[in-house]
Amino acid sequence: MRVWEIDPTLLCRSHLLGEHREIHAIWTFLTTDKGQSYRKHPETLRWIGKLPALKTRHDVVVNEMIRRGWNHKSKLENASGSDTQDEFLLTVAEQKQWLRTKACSCQV
């Protein structure tokens, strides 16, 4: 699971769409009884109490998807908590370095 801190304009198609799916998965894990085993995943844990911040990231990702001409129909609603994410598993520099090791077209 990965929600990036990187500008989504730099992400390749695969990583951008993957992040969008992960955001929705984390949202579901934190707002429903589904995916209880994933609630302990570090990426999920860092979003507890920060659904507005997760929604903000979702909206930034969606704006990039739309800019690329893709359709988007899934919304996130009823967010409560902090609108700031201050917990990171990797710094932006570490995330970019990790992406450089992948065989993809991310512009990092």
Query: Could you read off the pLDDT of 10-59 as tens digits, one per residue?
Result: 999 999 999 999 999 999 999 998 988 888 999 999 999 999 999 999 99
87: confidence class by pLDDT, cuts 50, 70, 90 = very high
DSSP 4: -
Instruction: Map tokens 């707002």 to a residue.
Output: 31
For 22-60, b where at least 16 C-beta lie within 10 A, e where not — what string?
bbebbbebbeeeeeeebeeeeebebbeebbebbbbbbee
CA–CA separation, 49 and 41 (whole Å) = 15
pTM assigned to the model: 0.93
